[in-house]
Amino acid sequence: MRKVYMDHTAGRPVDRRVLRAMTPYFRGFYGNPSSLHSFARETRKGLKRARAQIADLIHAERSEEVFFTSCATESNNWAIRGVAARNEKRGKHIITTGIEHMSVTNVCKLLMKEGFKVSFLPVDEYGKVELDALEKELTDETILVSVMYANGEIGTIEPIKEISEVVHDSKAYLHVDATAAMGQLEIDVKKDDVDLLTLSSNDMYGPKGVGALYIKRGTRLEPLIVGGGQESGMRSGTENLPNIVGMGRAAELARAEMKAESRRLSRLRDRFIVGILENIPHSFLNGHQTERLPNNVALRFSFIEGESMLLNLDIVGVAASSGSACTAKTLEPSHVLRAIGLKHEEAHGSLLFTLGRQNTDDDVDYVVNLLPNIVKRLRAMSPLTPSELRENV
């Protein structure tokens, strides 16, 4: 049976060239980079190279502004908790949005229990942060604003440059979770004037289990993980060299290949979206039409549930998702879909396809040809389908 993988936001294969770069660091180069002997020299070199490759990708001024972590979740936790802990004397107010990943939202909720005030900004129907609302929320007490670069669940890209201008009229820091944008969008921390940026590795075909946090020089924050003082004392724990080297190589490849690949994916994405919206009545696009991630096809179908569509797609070899990979385990509709104003049943009718390197025009055709029949069959059985439409949807 044909297999079509379109769940890249949840997980990607490691690029062969990345794997090749990592392999020597499992057995050949195993010295601890903190040690004082020749075995450490090669691992130190690998660490330095990876840091520089990542700094290059995001146009950081210095590679010393890149700190390795275990994942994007840790980077988000660190950025927010670290700034809160270090700056609470300046103020105890944090601003974020209603569409962030749980690794941002849940840290903010914990901080609220510890006496911080957190404002959750509303977004418009496409998931874009409203700059007026941001301006109104900023006070002398605000120490941090955390907004994602792009949302993986609805594809919408946030106006980071404009957000940064508003934020930096105050004394607050700006943290940007760039996880979903990695390897797809050109990120420039200098142009966007970002203070802290969360980076992930698997989103650019690097290994899982490694991430990074960009910290602009001069940004004041406490470490989250303390111990042996690795990463300039900011993130302790013996460095995971194979993964770090892999993430560096993935960043180098993304820098060289991202532009062409994003162009290719955007074309596939648009063909996919048009193919569905034109062929399936009562189908809609979630998120912004043009300011969206090149690989993101977030659809919504009236009268039926995402889960039943997923199961039917799985039977014909197509892997998609009903929403954020991280929230798919709960029956609650995604907070992102609720934040853009979707009703409970609308959110449940959502289906997310995230494209990747191995997807082709044929894959898109395969899904665009199959999905109308699946939707039709499910609608014929669904108690939510109005009886007058039952024959024709």
Task: Give residues with Cβ within 8 angstroms of 240, minimum separation 6.
Answer: 68, 70, 209, 210
71 part of the interface to ligand PMP, by CB under 6 A: yes
Binding segment for ligand PMP (CB under 6 A), chosen from 175-183, 310-318, 348-356, 366-374, is 175-183
What DSSP character marks residue 102? H
8 A C-beta contact, residue 83 and residue 196: yes
What is the CB neighbour count within 10 angstroms for residue 278?
10
Nearer to ligand PMP, 275 or 287 (CB): 287
Closest CB 93 distance from ligand PMP, rounded Å: 22
Nearer to ligand PMP, 72 or 143 (CB): 72
Distance (Å, whole) CA 222 – CA 357: 38
Nearer to ligand PMP, 66 or 371 (CB): 66
Taking each helix axis from N to C end, the angle separating 38-58 and 241-279, rounded to the nearest 10 degrees, works out to 30
180 part of the interface to ligand PMP, by CB under 6 A: yes
15 burial level (CB within 10 Å; 0-12, 13-18, 19+): buried
Answer yes or no: 326 catalytic. yes
Closest CB 198 distance from ligand PMP, rounded Å: 7
Q: Which of 115, 119, 161 is nearest to 138 (CA)?
A: 119
Binding segment for ligand PMP (CB under 6 A), chosen from 69-77, 155-163, 189-197, 367-375, is 69-77
List strand residue ranges (DSSP E) for 122-205, in order.
142-148, 173-177, 196-200
Stated as kind and residue range, the H or E segment containing 176 is strand 173-177
Nearer to ligand PMP, 179 or 359 (CB): 179
Closest CB 180 distance from ligand PMP, rounded Å: 4
Does residue 232 sit in helix, strand or coil?
helix
Q: Which of 209, 177, 207, 183 is nearest to 324 (CA)?
A: 177
Closest CB 76 distance from ligand PMP, rounded Å: 6
CA 309 to mean position of chain CA atoms: 24
Nearer to ligand PMP, 72 or 378 (CB): 72
Task: Give residues with Cβ within 8 angstroms of 131, minimum separation 6.
Answer: 159, 162, 163, 166
Site string for ligand PMP, 181-200 (x = CB under 6 A): -------------------x
Instruction: Please give the residues from 80 up to 119 whose contact with ligand PMP meets the rule CB under 6 A.
Output: 101, 103
Q: Which two tokens stand for residue 217?
A: 């020089």
Nearer to ligand PMP, 182 or 367 (CB): 182
Binding segment for ligand PMP (CB under 6 A), chosen from 70-78, 112-120, 358-366, 371-379, is 70-78
**Residue among 14, 85, 316, 326 flagged as catalytic:** 326
Closest CB 199 distance from ligand PMP, rounded Å: 10
Binding footprint of ligand PMP on the chain (CB under 6 A): 71-73, 76, 101, 103, 148, 152, 177, 179-180, 200, 326
Give the residue numbers marked as catalytic: 326
